[in-house]
Chains A and B, each alone.
Chain A
Amino acid sequence: MGSEENGERVFQQRGGGSILNCPSSGMGTNSTSDKVSGMAMCSQSMFRSTNGLDPYGSNWDPIVSLSQSGSFGNSTMVTQNHEFANSHCSVVLENQTMGSSSHLVHFPSDSGLVDMMPKIPSFGSGSLSEMVSSFGQIAESGSLSNFVLKNGVGLQRASTNIADSQDKFQNSEDGILGPSPYGKRKRKEPIGASPQNAEEEQEKDPSEDTSEFPKEDDEKKQKSEQNIALNSRSRQAVKQAKDNSIGAEPSKENYIHVRAKRGQATNSHSLAERVRRERISERMRLLQELVPGCNKITGKAMMLDEIINYVQSLQQQVEFLSMKLATVNPELNVDIDRILSKDILQLRGSNASGLGIAPGLSLSHPLPAYPQGTFNGAPGAAPPFHPLPQHLWNNELQGILQMGFDPDPSISSLGPNGLSKMEL
């Protein structure tokens, strides 16, 4: 029960988010079977909710809107969503009191919905009642995240109860995407209303789900892979409801909980594979940006070739430079310190703020006497950089650098001379 309640909560949350906009339309008959079927599809329909539906009341505007869109299945789901939304909306959204159980199944007096009703009986009513009760509980939980978290779980658990009726439901609700959470259907919702709330809620999903999902998933693992599929389905259904074109990555870094996308297999292996592939493609994209001239290349093999060539060329460059450096005879040790400053100047030419030396040193060129004001400004930015290299640089180097910070007349004579080399 608790699980179902959680699942209910989840549904509500999602439904609430999606159905927030749903205007509440008066629903006609409530039947447990409807509720059940609605539950099954609620995850999908929840997000299907549309703009303009009031979440409150026993009005099933979502269903109306759905039916308006012409999707029978949507309406069914919307009903469920509405159920959820009702309780959820009241609690979370706008503190409106919603008839919880009583309004669980409100079907708009829409012909489309009415047509759906006969099909619903395939679901066991028992599970629906459980779901219904959970709705009341959903009102109590005011945490969106929990809802989101439990969404898949709730669906999963509910599914176990309704497992038998799933097939029936599927058969009966052929045109409806309904039992997708429970079954293997990935029919795309014709009504692609993607409520922003649902979107946001869903976005919260990955971050919060990771912690809870695995636990709950493990509980159900014993059932069968179907549970996993259900999870993915439910999440997918929720996701799909928003926008089928959004094949957003599940962004589950640590867990294998991935939303199975439309038309893709959902067993655990392929899900894991998909995660892996997505990660790899993401890294490949990063590499593509790093390696110059790889924008047009598509394909893993060619990209890898390019990357390998680039790394090899960089390494060869380093070798070549070191060979050259070996032949060069440095004049004085002081030069190295100057090189360091020069390097820093050159490398950080545009990042003078990060290195207070740059403005100070560059300004020192034209002025034989360090302008006090100039350097006073520089040290402000320098301190963060200054402590770091102090222990790295020798005193000589520090002396040179400090010239930028503390214009010392005694050193200044050396400064401009030495710094004049910077202009080279």
Chain B
Amino acid sequence: MKNPTTNPSSSMIRTRFAVRFLHAMKKLNKKTPAPSPYRRRFHTIRAAACASMACAVGPRKAWSRAILKKIRARTLHHYLINKSRNQQMMMIKRGNPRDEELAVGFGYGEEDDLRGLVPGGEGMGFCRLLSETAHYIKCLRAQVQVMTNVLDHYSST
């Protein structure tokens, strides 16, 4: 599959993300092979995708910082709480890397919707929000491409 964007920066992001994501997938497949509950795997994979994307981008962008912060908070939370008992709850919490989407319900207007969508978008001005959104869109697109490739490879082999 051809990637429409071939500028070096997006390629770099794609590569970095691909590396991390595949590592995460490898780890995940070792720990919990496919036949295990799909829901859990799904959440883990989704979180891994977001985390690897955020790591690939680095702390330069506000949205990646917000994601990393959230992940670290979740990890800490995960350790602090009893796994077996609260696993399900953790799954729900952890599996929703888009808490910000909840904020959409409270915001008014498109601007707030956008803030809800872009991680870390609550505390910045509109102008900055727009540039963060642009970068976020680029990275999301790269993420989708990589994951599609991985999926294709999985399903083809």
Specify the chain A residue showing the minimal Cβ separation from B143: A318
State the Cβ distance, B156 to closest chain A Cβ, in Å. 5
Given contacts A340-B19, A349-B2, is CB(A311)–CB(B133) below 8 Å?
yes
- A410 at interface, CB cutoff 8 A: no
Give Cα distance in the complex from A305 to B23, angstroms: 36
Stretch at the interface among B27-35, B70-78, B81-89: B27-35
- A369 at interface, CB cutoff 8 A: no
Interface residues on A, range: 35 or more
- A323 at interface, CB cutoff 8 A: yes
* Contacts beyond the supplied A287-B137, A318-B50, A327-B41: 7 A-B pairs with Cβ under 8 Å: A280-B126, A280-B130, A287-B130, A310-B137, A311-B117, A315-B117, A331-B157
- A343 at interface, CB cutoff 8 A: yes
State the Cβ distance, A291 to closest chain B Cβ, in Å. 7
Q: Chain B interface mostly helix, strand, loop or mixed?
A: helix
- A52 at interface, CB cutoff 8 A: no
- A308 at interface, CB cutoff 8 A: yes
Which of B19, B39, B110, B140 is close to A392, meaning CB atoms less than 8 Å apart?
Answer: B19
Give Cα distance in the complex from A347 to B157, angstroms: 19
List, in ascending order, chain A residues with CB within 8 A of B118's CB.
311
- B114 at interface, CB cutoff 8 A: yes
The answer to whether B140 and A315 have CB atoms under 8 Å apart is yes
The answer to whether B98 and A315 have CB atoms under 8 Å apart is yes
List, in ascending order, chain A residues with CB within 8 A of B94's CB.
none
The answer to whether A336 and B22 have CB atoms under 8 Å apart is yes
**Residues 267-305 of chain A: 1 if any B CB is under 8 Å from the residue's CB, otherwise 0?**
000000000100110011011001100000000010011
Most buried by B among A312, A347, A392, A424: A347
| 12 pairs, A vs B, C-beta closer than 8 Å | A283-B130, A311-B114, A314-B140, A315-B117, A325-B154, A326-B39, A328-B154, A331-B157, A335-B153, A347-B18, A347-B149, A424-B153
- A344 at interface, CB cutoff 8 A: yes
- A421 at interface, CB cutoff 8 A: yes
List, in ascending order, chain A residues with CB within 8 A of B35's CB.
329
State the Cβ distance, A299 to closest chain B Cβ, in Å. 11
The answer to whether A336 and B25 have CB atoms under 8 Å apart is yes
Interface residues of B in 1-52 (CB under 8 A from A): 1-3, 6, 8, 11, 14-15, 18-20, 22-23, 25-26, 29-30, 33-35, 38-39, 41-42, 44-46, 49-50
Give Cα distance in the complex from A315 to B50, angstroms: 10
The answer to whether B110 and A301 have CB atoms under 8 Å apart is yes
Which of B33, B117, B126 is close to A312, meaning CB atoms less than 8 Å apart?
Answer: B117
